[in-house]
């Protein structure tokens, strides 16, 4: 039996603009399981980013709740929420959202030093590993505006995972990247997932989505369907028949939903 990492209960979100209420998420009931790599797909405007923001406690739903370790995120005080984000959750935004007056290195290291129970030396090692891994060595001392969009996005991924969070939320983490950099980011996410960390990733790209063992399809603010696959086998990531077969399975499912 899989354990639940996070649960959305009757989660709803609407916005009011000029007196008109827009329902973005309608009563979503969803369990995210520990150790799963869940991909979220769906048309533009279907509510994917809003769902990720609500699930991670970055945004408050209009109704309903999210439960982390059976604890209400909606009822958490600001300090508890800050602790949840620093110790348990990592977030990659759709736009990199780096701190503009910190270098790429510092953007990863500053949240890294908040990790409880880790020595500064270990944090420094973790940051340096991620800098190498994400190919940021030559630009580590650049400010975000002195770095390319792809470098900023890879830095944002490194920042999200530096504290080995229980759950990594990633909103189109490869959206701004070329194929080689996308594969590097996906490999990193698959690798940390293989060590037991839970991933929830929004993507438009089936080749990214099929890294997950579960794909959700969101439409008009509701989860319309889900597709389950065996966990990604990193040993076979260069095996074309393996990746094509996975992609074909996911594509066939998406076509059945008239994507």
Ligand X SMILES: Nc1ncnc2c1ncn2[C@@H]1O[C@H](COP(=O)(O)OP(=O)(O)OP(=O)(O)O)[C@@H](O)[C@H]1O
Tokens 């194929």 locate to 179
Segment contacting ligand X (CB under 6 A): 15-23, 83-91, 124-132, 229-237? 15-23
Tell me the C-alpha distance between 100 and 162, whole Å. Answer: 19
Tell me the C-alpha distance between 190 and 199, whole Å. Answer: 9
CB of 110 to Mg ion, least distance (A): 26
By CB under 6 A, name the one of 15, 71, 82, 257 that touches ligand X. 15
For ligand X, the binding residues in 194-223 under the rule CB under 6 A are none
Which one, 160 or 216, has the nearer CB to ligand X?
Answer: 216
Does position 113 bind ligand X by CB under 6 A? no
- The contacts of residue 34 (CB under 8 Å, 6+ apart) are 2, 3, 4, 5, 166, 196, 198
Which one, 18 or 70, has the nearer CB to ligand X?
Answer: 18
Question: Contact at 8 Å (CB) between 41 and 16?
Answer: no
For ligand X, the binding residues in 234-253 under the rule CB under 6 A are none
Which one, 55 or 131, has the nearer CB to ligand X?
Answer: 55
Does position 22 bind ligand X by CB under 6 A? yes
Contacted entry of Mg ion, ligand X, none for residue 153, CB cut-off 5 to 8 Å set by kind:
none
For ligand X, the binding residues in 77-96 under the rule CB under 6 A are 94
Q: Which chain residues interact with Mg ion by CB under 5 A? A: 49
CB of 38 to ligand X, least distance (A): 15
Q: Please state, in angstroms and as integers, the Cα–Cα distance from residue 169 to each residue in 39, 79, 126, 128, 252, following that order.
A: 10, 20, 19, 22, 26
CB of 13 to ligand X, least distance (A): 8
Alpha-helical runs (H) found in the chain: 48-55, 78-83, 104-112, 120-133, 149-161, 179-194, 206-209, 240-256
Residue 113, number of CB atoms within 10 A of its CB: 13
Contacted entry of ligand X, Mg ion, none for residue 146, CB cut-off 5 to 8 Å set by kind:
none
Which one, 15 or 113, has the nearer CB to ligand X?
Answer: 15
Question: Contact at 8 Å (CB) between 105 and 98?
Answer: no
Tell me the C-alpha distance between 104 and 195, whole Å. Answer: 26
Contacted entry of ligand X, Mg ion, none for residue 57, CB cut-off 5 to 8 Å set by kind:
none
Tokens 């935004």 locate to 93
For ligand X, the binding residues in 29-68 under the rule CB under 6 A are 42, 44-50
Q: Please state, in angstroms and as integers, the Cα–Cα distance from residue 64 to each residue in 9, 24, 167, following that order.
A: 6, 14, 20
CB of 171 to Mg ion, least distance (A): 6
Tell me the C-alpha distance between 91 and 82, whole Å. Answer: 13
At 109, is the secondary structure helix, strand, or coil? helix
Which one, 1 or 17, has the nearer CB to ligand X?
Answer: 17
For ligand X, the binding residues in 127-146 under the rule CB under 6 A are none
Tell me which residues touch ligand X (CB under 6 A).
15, 17, 22, 24, 42, 44-50, 94
């Amino acid at each position: 039996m899989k354990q639940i990492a996070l649960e959305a209960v009757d989660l709803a979100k609407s916005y009011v603009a000029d007196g008109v209420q827009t329902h973005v998420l309608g009563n979503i009931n969803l369990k995210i399981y520990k150790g799963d790599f869940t991909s979220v797909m769906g048309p533009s405007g279907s509510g994917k980013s809003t769902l990720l923001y609500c699930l991670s406690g970055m945004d408050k739903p209009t109704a309903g709740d999210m439960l982390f370790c059976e604890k209400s995120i909606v009822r958490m005080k600001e300090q508890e929420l800050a602790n949840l984000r620093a110790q348990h959750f990592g977030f990659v935004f759709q736009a990199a959202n780096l701190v503009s007056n910190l270098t790429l290195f510092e953007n990863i290291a500053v949240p890294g030093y908040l990790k409880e129970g880790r020595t500064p030396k270990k944090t420094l090692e973790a940051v340096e590993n991620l800098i190498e891994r994400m190919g940021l060595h030559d630009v580590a001392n650049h400010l975000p505006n002195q770095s390319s969009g792809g470098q900023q996005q890879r830095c944002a991924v490194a920042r999200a995972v530096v504290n080995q969070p229980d759950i990594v939320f990633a909103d189109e983490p490869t959206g701004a990247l070329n194929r080689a950099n996308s594969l590097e980011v996906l490999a990193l996410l698959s690798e940390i997932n293989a060590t037991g960390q839970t991933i929830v990733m929004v993507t438009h790209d089936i080749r990214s989505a099929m890294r997950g063992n579960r794909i959700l399809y969101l439409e008009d603010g509701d989860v319309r369907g889900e597709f389950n696959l065996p966990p990604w086998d990193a040993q076979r990531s260069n095996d074309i028949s393996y990746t094509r077969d996975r992609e074909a399975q996911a594509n066939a499912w998406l076509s059945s939903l008239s994507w």
